[in-house]
Amino acid sequence: MGSVHPEINHGRRDLIKLGAAGMGVVLLGEQALAEPKKGVKFDEEYDVIIVGSGFAGIACGIKCAEKGYKTLMIEKMGRIGGNSVINGGIFCVPQNDLQKKAGIKDSNELFIADCMKAGLGINHKELLETLAKRAHETYQFTLKYGAKYLDSLVHEGGHSVPRTYQTAVGSGAGIVLPLMERFEKMAGVALKTRTKFDDFVMDDAGRVIGILAREDYRFDSKLFSDDLENQGGTPKAFKATKAVMLASGGFCQDKYYRAVQDPRLTPSTDSTNHPGATAGVLLKAFGIGAVPVQVSWIQFGPWACPDEKGFGVGSMFNVNASFRYGISVDPKTGKRYMNELADRKIRADHMFAVIGKDENYPINLCDSQAIERLLPDHYEKALKAGILKKFNTLEELAQQYKMPVEAFKKTVTDYNSYVKAGKDPEFGKPTNMVDGITLSKAPFYAMRGTPKLHHTMGGLQINTQAQVIHSKTHQPIPGLYAAGEVTGGVHGASRLGSVAITDCLTFGMIAGENI
The pLDDT of residue 12? 29
The pLDDT of residue 39? 74
- Predicted confidence (pLDDT) at residue 306 exceeds the cutoff of 70: yes
- Sequence-distant (6+) residues with CB within 8 A of 208 are 200, 201, 202, 240, 243, 244, 288, 477, 478, 479, 480
- Predicted confidence (pLDDT) at residue 181 exceeds the cutoff of 80: yes
- Predicted confidence (pLDDT) at residue 33 exceeds the cutoff of 50: no
User: Do 253 and 378 share a structural domain?
Assistant: no
Query: Could you give the number of structural domains in the chain?
Result: 2
User: Do 141 and 162 share a structural domain?
Assistant: yes
> Among 14-28, 64-78, 106-120, 243-257, which stretch is predicted with the lowest mean pLDDT?
14-28
User: Do 253 and 147 share a structural domain?
Assistant: yes
Give the end of a domain, one of 405, 435, 452: 452
Write out pLDDT tens, residues 104-138. Answer: 999 999 999 999 999 999 999 999 999 999 999 99
Q: Which domain holds residue 220?
A: 35-297+459-515
DSSP string, 491-511: STTSPPTTHHHHHHHHHHHHH
Confidence of residue 38 (pLDDT cuts 50, 70, 90): low
The pLDDT of residue 37? 65
User: Do 293 and 420 share a structural domain?
Assistant: no
Residue type, 452: K
Write out pLDDT tens, residues 188-243. Answer: 999 999 999 999 999 999 999 999 999 999 999 999 999 999 999 999 999 999 99
Give the pLDDT mean for 172-192.
Answer: 98
User: Do 483 and 406 share a structural domain?
Assistant: no
> 448 an active-site residue?
no
H-only helix segments in 288-404: 315-317, 323-325, 344-355, 368-371, 380-385, 394-400
Write out pLDDT tens, residues 323-334. Answer: 999 999 999 999
- Predicted confidence (pLDDT) at residue 460 exceeds the cutoff of 60: yes
> Among 33-37, 252-256, 489-493, which stretch is predicted with the lowest mean pLDDT?
33-37
The pLDDT of residue 89? 96
Q: Is 26 a member of any domain? A: no
Distance CA 101, CA 152 (A): 10
Average pLDDT along the chain: 93
User: Do 495 and 410 share a structural domain?
Assistant: no
What would you report as the CA-atom Rg of the chain, rounded to the nearest whole angstrom? 23
Please identify which of the residues 134, 194, 336, 344 carries the catalytic annotation: 344
- Predicted confidence (pLDDT) at residue 292 exceeds the cutoff of 80: yes
The pLDDT of residue 15? 27
Write out pLDDT tens, residues 344-376. Answer: 999 999 999 999 989 999 999 999 999 999 999
User: Do 335 and 291 share a structural domain?
Assistant: no
The pLDDT of residue 373? 93
Q: Is 24 a member of any domain? A: no
Strand partners, 201: 37, 210
Give the pLDDT mean for 446-464.
Answer: 98
The pLDDT of residue 152? 93
User: Do 93 and 211 share a structural domain?
Assistant: yes
